[in-house]
Amino acid sequence: METILHTLDAGILTLTINRPDKLNALNSQVLAELDTTIKDVYINPAIHGVIITGAGPKSFVAGADITEFSGLSKEQAFLLARKGQDIFSFIEQCPKPVIAAVNGFALGGGCELALACHIRIASSNARFGQPEVNLGLIPGYGGTQRLTRLVGKGLAMEWILSGNLVDAAEAHRTGLVNHVTAPESLLSTATTLLQTILSKSPTAVSRSIQAIHAAFDKTEAEGFEREAELFSDCAGSEEMMEGVAAFIEKRKPAFRK
């Protein structure tokens, strides 16, 4: 792959979007490579969790590649938005945990990429925004939906309508990111959190992700039903037996063989 660097260490795949001279803007090649990569994450047993970050000190991803927008027809724009939405939904629905380590600008498609990840950690120099209104566009890779669900309608309206950027402290205060770190601690903070998650029952982690998503795409009653199904799915598994036995025997559970 040319535009995404892969590092696999102890089950953690770190993906680095690697176009630093273009602030890691998402051109069609990055999108295609992201699509291939995330599909591999689903099926590759060596990958237990993912960190997504950007190359260089300045930018996570500064948006879709604007140079590819010239001459975009309405039909092409619709298909492009659907393609981006599908890839980001694949990230969101991934049964393995995905953390965005936001190391600078997360604008437009970059903010949408971070929003599709399960958890966001930002360096203190991160800046978030959906500045598409400056281009005569709206967010097209899920931003109007995911930002609204994460921070609420009022803030999403303000940020998307004004195109204003939000710094790391405001992103933290509003729940857009879970933690803010010094730039030099960003990857270690993301790795430590992911290691904690990966030490838990993989089945329980993946079912938790599914159950939490149900809070957004189902009614509350349907969400309770889904939670019960997923709870029952975990019951009686080797992992549950190991977790319960470890508690009784006063030792740490070993979920991965």
Nearer to ligand COA, 136 or 236 (CB): 136
For residues 244 and 241, give the distance between their C-alpha atoms in angstroms, rounded to a whole number. Answer: 5
63 binds ligand COA (CB under 6 A): yes
Q: Please identify which of the residues 2, 68, 75, 112 carries the catalytic annotation.
A: 112
Residue count, binding to ligand COA (CB under 6 A):
17
112 binds ligand COA (CB under 6 A): no
Task: Transcribe 160-217 into DSSP letters.
Answer: HHH---EEHHHHHHTTS-SEEE-GGGHHHHHHHHHHHHHTS-HHHHHHHHHHHHHHHH
User: Interface mask (CB under 6 A) for ligand COA, residues 20-49, using x and -?
Assistant: --xx-x------------------------
Q: What are the percentages of helix, strand and coil residues in the chain, rounded to 5?
A: 55, 15, 30
Is 92 annotated in the active site? no
For residues 253 and 106, give the distance between their C-alpha atoms in angstroms, rounded to a whole number. Answer: 37
Instruction: Let me know: does 24 contact 110? Beta carbons within 8 Å.
Output: yes
Is 112 annotated in the active site? yes
Per CB under 6 A, the list member of 33, 112, 132, 227 interacting with ligand COA is 132
211 binds ligand COA (CB under 6 A): no
CA-closest candidate to residue 126, choices 188, 194, 61, 193: 61
Q: Please identify which of the residues 33, 132, 227, 239 carries the catalytic annotation.
A: 132
Nearer to ligand COA, 33 or 65 (CB): 65
Binding site for ligand COA (CB under 6 A): 22-23, 25, 62-67, 105, 107-109, 131-132, 134-135
Active site residues: 112, 132
